[in-house]
Structure 1
Amino acid sequence: MNKINGYTEEEAKSLVEYIWAGKQAGKTLTYLFETYGAQHGRAKGSVRNYYYALMKNPKQDDRVVKLLDGKQLSVERIREFTDEETDETLRSILAEKSKGISVRRAISNLAGGDDKLMLRLQNKYRNILKKQPERIEAIAAELGLGTGAAEKSFLQRRLENEINALYDKLALSLKEENARLSSENIKLRRENEALKRRSSFKEV
């Protein structure tokens, strides 16, 4: 049976149709990779990699061109923070902190409960704290939160501690989610095997 990058042509068509229908319904690629993988006993990362390979189609396979024709599908790229967005995010977090709200709560509020966005914001802050601590000091001064060296050091240490705690929480959350999905995949595979066995018994 002819295959397209490891999938049968029917499987490749099924994936493309699933992604296309999901995008029409407003679903994200991340969600679609996860749900398709759960339904077909494949890891989310494996589905994602296969989809990206189809989109790139490095061998210019005519079958892939035909599958994608008219679907207007694309890949989602991570957009980098602009300088303006970075400064505005810093202002928001530091302004909230001045009201007695922690960095953890501020990032959570900004992300609106989106764990992946929270992790992205956290990573951005960790990078700034490590490479551009003076940027935080400048925003703090702009907001009238003090610019002394001792105050800066305290602010930086507190931000680092709170962000590290947030990172640990998110990492644990994602680990638990991956474990849950893995367990569901195993359950689905077992159910499929049971159905196949029952079907074979009926045929006999």
Structure 2
Amino acid sequence: MSRPTTSLVSRLLAAAGLDLGIAVRHVVLNVVAGSVLLPRPLRRLVYLLAGVDARTSNVFPGVRLTGTALSLGEQTFLNHDCYLDVGKGRIDIGARCHLAPAVMVLTATHDLAAADRRAERYLTTTIEDDVWLGARATVLPGVTIGRGCVVAAGAVVTEDCAPGGLYAGVPARRVRDLAPAAPSAPSEAVLAGGRA
């Protein structure tokens, strides 16, 4: 084989290997673990075996993960159809957080300064303890949402959210301060792995 042909074959094999890895990860994390037929405790076990730091079983079917660089705190709840972009970035979600249906948390971004590398920046997105993200809220890469925040349905979080606030809009802005939560014991439903 000529040198250009060998180079082409090498690139094709490398691309095929990458695609195969993505396909296997998708089958394990989204087809098997995301199935409505898999009980939540078994879903958590699949996530743990795949390398996800899942300290909760409250992940409902249809949640889509693009990788395993994910930490889910105790008693955190992910509703149906959430999308967590952890292919190359990282997402840390604290304890007692609630993500409503179709929430999107992203880590991949674009570097507008370098024309030849527009989509090769991956950040850590952090959601601290006791946060509630409303239905279809979007959290952009590298953002930190502070403890005790509520993000309204449909909001797009483009920058850090200071603790204890209600954020709404596109882009999300703090619309009011929230009273700090009183310490309380977890409900029996949460302790049993059910909805609060």
Higher percent of residues as helix:
1
Report the TM-score range of the alignment, normalised by the length of the smaller protein. Answer: under 0.3
TM, length-normalised to structure 1: 0.21
Higher percent of residues as strand:
2
TM, length-normalised to structure 2: 0.21
Bigger relative contact order (CA 8 A; separation at least 6): 1
* Structure of greater Rg: 1
